């Protein structure tokens, strides 16, 4: 108690203001010029990034929690719809996990679709956006033990087409 009082007196005497050590959370954005898409996310979600060799995507991950997000884009030469892409992801996930996949929800967006699945080990949150000749995707994979972060990350990770941004913003 006496030590705290002395500290306060010293701070006052030397006009020292305590430093706020609260971490500042900022937005990060990854954009791809060739396929004209961007994804926004909070900087504290991921602590490492690997860029693809061809520059068309990234793998973001958190080394502690094992949460990862794959961000990629490609030309849509087969003219896939967002529903086609979501269905394809589900079919591949079923093959990979031995068909043990639980569908949780799906929603249409202005330029694509989102879906959430659960396997025995992880949640898979996929987003697709489609432009005239290309599409982009994010696949967020969250281990079951980190399920508390799922809703926060779903709300704060935004995939969008650059062309969908209004010029007057």
Mean per-residue pLDDT for 108-135? 95
- How far is 99 from 72, CA to CA, in rounded Å? 25
The predicted-structure confidence for 69-120, as pLDDT tens digits, reads as follows 999 999 999 999 999 999 999 999 999 988 789 999 999 998 999 999 999 9
If one counts every other C-beta atom within 10 angstroms of the C-beta of residue 37, the result is: 28
How many domains does the chain divide into?
A: 1
pTM, two decimals, is 0.81
Mean per-residue pLDDT for 31-35? 93
Domain that holds residue 51: 25-164
pLDDT at 163: 79
CATH number of the domain where residue 73 is located = 3.40.1000.10
The predicted-structure confidence for 37-74, as pLDDT tens digits, reads as follows 999 999 999 999 999 998 889 999 999 999 999 999 99
Residue 157 counted as domain residue: yes
- In this prediction, residue 164 has a pLDDT band, given cuts at 50, 70 and 90, of low
Q: In 3D, which of 37, 47, 53, 137 has the Cα closest to residue 92? A: 137
Average pLDDT over all residues of the chain: 85
Residue 159 counted as domain residue: yes
Residue 6 counted as domain residue: no
- How far is 157 from 25, CA to CA, in rounded Å? 14
């Amino acid at each position: 108690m006496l030590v705290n009082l002395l500290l306060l007196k010293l701070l006052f005497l030397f006009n020292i203001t305590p430093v706020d050590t609260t971490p500042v959370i900022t937005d990060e954005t990854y954009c791809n010029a060739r396929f004209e898409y961007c994804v926004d996310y909070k900087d504290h979600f991921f602590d490492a990034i690997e860029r693809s060799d061809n520059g068309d995507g990234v793998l973001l991950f958190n080394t502690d929690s094992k949460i990862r997000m794959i961000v990629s884009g490609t030309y849509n030469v087969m003219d896939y719809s967002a529903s086609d892409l979501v269905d394809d992801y589900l079919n591949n996930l079923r093959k990979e996990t031995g068909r043990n996949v639980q569908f949780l929800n799906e929603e249409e967006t202005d330029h694509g679709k989102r879906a959430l699945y659960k396997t025995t080990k992880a949640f898979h949150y996929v987003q697709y956006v489609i432009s005239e000749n290309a599409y982009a995707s994010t696949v967020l994979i969250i281990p079951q033990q980190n399920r508390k972060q799922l809703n926060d990350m779903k709300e704060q990770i935004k995939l969008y087409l650059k062309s969908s941004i209004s010029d007057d913003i």
